Structure 1
Amino acid sequence: MYHKFNAIMQRLTGARSSAYVPQGLKPTVPAEAPPTIFASPTRMASEARGQGEYMGRNKVPELQKFFQRHDGVPIYLKRGLMDRMLYRTTMGLTFGGALYCMVALFMCAQPK
C-alpha cells in the first residue's frame, strides 16, 4: 500500500498506486536545458603555463623533505617555537575548558 502526507490532517494516509508521488520530488523534468552560468571562456591549466601568472618557485618538494625527516619531533612541532606556543596554548585552553565544564557541572549538581 502506498502512503502520502495529508496536509489537512497532518498525517500519513493511504493512497492509490497511480497517485504516488514522493514528497520533495517533482513529477516532471523540465524540457529545456538550464542557462549557462559562465559567460566568459575558461582556460585550461596547460594554457596558463609560460604566461608569468605565478612568479614564485614551487616549495612543496622542500617542505615534503622537511616534514618527512625522521628526527623524533612530532609533525605538529616541526617548525619550532611558534608551533610549540600554538600547541601549548591549545592544550591549555582545552584543559581549562574541561576544568570549567567540570566546575559548572559540580555547581549545578549542588542543591540550593
Structure 2
Amino acid sequence: MIFATPTKVVSHSGETVQYLGANRVPDLQRLFQRSDGVPVHLKRGVPDKLLYRTTMALTIGGTIYCLVALYMASQPRKR
C-alpha cells in the first residue's frame, strides 16, 4: 500500500489558491502574435537584441577559436 498513499495533501476547507503574480499570458500572446515584421526572437526589444547579438558574437568567436586551435594542432612541432 506504499504506492496508494497520496503525494499531495488536499485541503477540504474550500480555500482558493493565491498566486504571487498576475496572469501575463494574454499580454504576451498579443505581443508575439502582432504582425509588425519583427522576428519572434526580437519582439521584446532591447534585451532580446542584446541577448541575440551576444549569442552571435560568442558563437562566431568560438568558431574562430576552434579553427585556430585545429590549425595549430595540425602543424608539426618544432624541435
Q: Judge same fold: TM > 0.5, yes or no.
A: yes
Q: Report the residue type matching 2:10 in the other structure.
A: T
Q: Report the residue type matching 1:97 in the other structure.
A: G
Provide the aligned C-alpha RMSD in A: 2.5
Query: Do the aligned partners of residues 101 and 40 (structure 1) sit closer, same or farther apart at CA in structure 2, a change above 3 Å counting?
Result: closer
> Which of 6, 9, 30 is the aligned partner of 1:41?
9
Query: Do the aligned partners of residues 51 and 42 (structure 1) sit closer, same or farther apart at CA in structure 2, a change above 3 Å counting?
Result: closer
State yes or no: 1:86 paired with 2:22.
no
1:8-19 paired onto structure 2 within 5 Å: none
- Equivalent residue number for residue 21 of structure 1: none
State yes or no: 1:75 paired with 2:43.
no
Name whichever of 61-70 and 91-100 sits farther off. 61-70
TM-score (norm 2): 0.77
Mark the runs of 5 or more structure 2 residues left unpaired by the alignment: none
**Structure 1 CA distance for aligned equivalents of residues 29 and 72 of structure 2:** 50
Whichever structure has more helix as a proportion of its residues is 2
Whichever structure has more strand as a proportion of its residues is 1
Equivalent pairs, count: 75
> Which of 80, 89, 96 is the aligned partner of 2:61?
96
**Structure 2 CA distance for aligned equivalents of residues 90 and 96 of structure 1:** 10
Q: Report the residue type matching 2:68 in the other structure.
A: V
- Equivalent residue number for residue 23 of structure 2: 58
Mark the runs of 5 or more structure 1 residues left unpaired by the alignment: 1-32
Query: Do the aligned partners of residues 61 and 70 (structure 1) sit closer, same or farther apart at CA in structure 2, a change above 3 Å counting?
Result: same
Q: Could you tell me how far 1:41 is from its partner in structure 2?
A: 2.8
Q: Could you tell me how far 1:104 is from its partner in structure 2?
A: 0.3
